[in-house]
A and B are shown apart, each in its own frame.
Chain A
């Protein structure tokens, strides 16, 4: 129960930071997806099912503050959380570069899912070079903030009886 409250607070903090701080810290007009980076950390810690569920909840919370259709970020985050969870279950050795690599690749994957699904549901001009530029910059930005976000979210996501299984140096 306490873990769920902690993860709920992570959602709230991510939404507030996304809608305030990161709107001022855009690079070439692009902000990172701090909520997605938190989902990647939870998916890595807890596997595909939790990753997908947490991704859906986080995406839905972020969607409430966007003008794109409600459910678009939820879809992208849920699929990405699931994929990272599946990938994690097959990894036997980690690297100190894990957080930025996951942040970058996860950001790229999620962005591509977002623009593809957006185009399918009729969002104007989603499949364009500008969208790809945004996805690329956002994924690099996600990779940069991941080493800061991962340890904090991992701590919130850890079960009370669990022992640390990986570490970011």
Chain B
């Protein structure tokens, strides 16, 4: 009798824990402020220990990284990587911005991002999870960073999107990368016409994929199903009223393989991120949308 009662008590405990877990997941999916506060508080508590641990482990990690590349100096490598990321973004952005500048700046009253509105931060490491692609950066809410802000590399006017701030503590933040399976952003392809002149292509949604490091671009523009998605087309963030979470014109990636016109059928294309997301050392967090001028 006692054993049976004890068994029932144990099972009841498990059932209650399962129900509590499901309730917490449901709350989190709805963007509960309490859970966001709990995350921030936990990260604030652990951050000082994490910084100490990073100081201890990073040299070991760098040494291990360097074993396979004995002839290269780590500092030189990081500097070259930063320059390469910026150059790639600049080249890709140039193609899209030619079409943009002439038309959109006159037609739309888009908020502009200046370098003064960005916070540079070191990439300390990757996030903890196996089922998400995240970065941990060295600055947080004390530097003005907030959840939802876009994270980029490159210079003003030629920036490539890296991800979005997913959670933030006082001195660090977690960034969800653009190739994370739960990431999505409004996007538009920038194409060239038969004469080689740049023009705006189809609009759609760019999303990360679980099984691949490439993004999936799904065309949502019903008027552009007859347009082929060409190799080398550049995808940029849509911004504006279509996707107010991001400024327009941040480069996402290029189409690696042509997708022919589908008539009335909606199509997907893959996008190769313009930035090597595994090798980032420094990023910029855009304070976007900009604070209103008083």
Contacts and interface: CB of A to CB of B under 8 A. Distances in A.
Interface of A: 12, 15-26, 29-31, 33, 48-49, 52-53, 56, 59-62, 64-72, 74-75, 78-79, 82, 114-115, 117-118, 121-126, 128-131, 134, 138
Interface of B: 9-10, 13-14, 17-18, 20-29, 35, 38-39, 42-43, 46, 49-50, 53-54, 57-58, 60-61, 64, 125-132, 134, 136, 166-167, 174, 176, 180-182, 207, 209-211
B176 A67 contact: yes
Contacts, number: 155
A52 B174 CA distance: 29
Given A70-B35, A130-B211, A121 B14 contact: no
B14 A19 contact: no
B17 A67 contact: no
Contact of B136 (A23, A31, A56, A124): A23
A114 B125 contact: no
Contacts of B166: 67
Contact of B181 (A60, A114, A123): A123
Contacts of B174: 65, 67
B59 to A, nearest CB: 11
B50 A66 contact: no
Contact of A124 (B50, B61, B182): B182
B192 to A, nearest CB: 33
Contacts of A61: 42
Listed residue (B38, B43, B207, B210) with the most chain A CB atoms within 10 angstroms of its CB:
B210
20 contacts: A12-B49, A15-B46, A19-B136, A20-B53, A23-B125, A23-B128, A52-B10, A60-B24, A64-B38, A65-B127, A65-B174, A69-B29, A71-B25, A78-B17, A79-B14, A82-B14, A125-B211, A126-B131, A130-B210, A131-B210
Given A25-B61, A131-B210, 18 more contacts: A15-B46, A20-B57, A21-B53, A23-B126, A29-B130, A31-B130, A64-B42, A67-B180, A69-B25, A70-B24, A70-B25, A70-B27, A70-B35, A74-B24, A75-B18, A121-B29, A123-B131, A130-B211
Listed residue (B21, B25, B166) with the most chain A CB atoms within 10 angstroms of its CB:
B21
